[in-house]
Amino acid sequence: MKWHSIDLLCCPFCRGPVAPCGQTLNGGDPVSEGTLICETCHRAFAIERGIVHFLQTDELVGPNKKHARLNDLFSHVYTPTVKLMFALCGGEERARCECMDRLELREGAHILEVGIGTGDNLPYLRRRLHRFRVYGVDISRSMLRHCEANMKKWGVEAELFLAEAERLPFKDGTFDVVFHIGAINFFTDKKRAIEEMIRVARPGTRIIIADENERALRVLDKFLLQLWIGKREKVVPPIDLVPQTMREIRLETIWRGYGYCIAFRTPR
């Protein structure tokens, strides 16, 4: 992690400020190992290979716990699997651009991707911007390691954090762009995750949430999806969980009818 991100972080449990333990700040130089301490509740968060661990596996409950474990096991085949899934939607390029084109991007933006996975959206952001900072969270350690390797391969930078969407480790009103693609269907608490995305977005920010719809998952069930994720509930786009205080709330069908996109704007 880079020290300049300290100013953006908070404890995901009590939202108190965090500070390095036993280390001296040195500008924006990256720190690969160490500990952050919450100054309010005194929780300790390890920094391992540059990634702050804002959660431990035994703290996860419900679907998040199951999917973190599955993602850790199958992260090495995640990218080719997603490419195959996007083949239903006219190809990965088209599918990702449908989402990226809905973001309101500007130079110098602070961008948060909730559920960054292996970082496959990063090249699409770089096509659109020259100057930006990306912060990515995910519940899978292995996914974040693969994301690091991809970033080196692509020459893209992002700061990565092991954290839940339901407990984002960022201060209120931090980001110009907030988006999530492809996992909210299986979050433990969708409502809380949406509320967290809203909390960390700046006033007037457009938030994008996209995922496969029930039609897509019925197709994937035929390819043994249920053996991977187990019994699942019918997919219903969680637009009803978006607070009515938000502006410009929209639900659109994307990915050639196999996905949905929820877009809305935080009040100014």
pTM: 0.93
Banded pLDDT at 130 (limits 50, 70, 90): very high
Q: How many CB atoms lie within 10 A of CB 257?
A: 12
Q: How many CA atoms lie within 13 A of 225 on its CB side?
A: 16
Banded pLDDT at 221 (limits 50, 70, 90): confident
* DSSP E strand boundaries for 124-193: 132-138, 159-162, 177-181
Residue found by looking up tokens 């496969």 in the block = 212
3-state secondary structure 207-259: EEEEEECHHHHHHHHCCCHHHHHCCCCCCCCHHHHCCCCCEEEEEEEEHHHCE
Domain boundaries, the chain: 1-53, 55-265
Banded pLDDT at 229 (limits 50, 70, 90): low
CATH topology of domain 55-265: Rossmann fold (3.40.50)
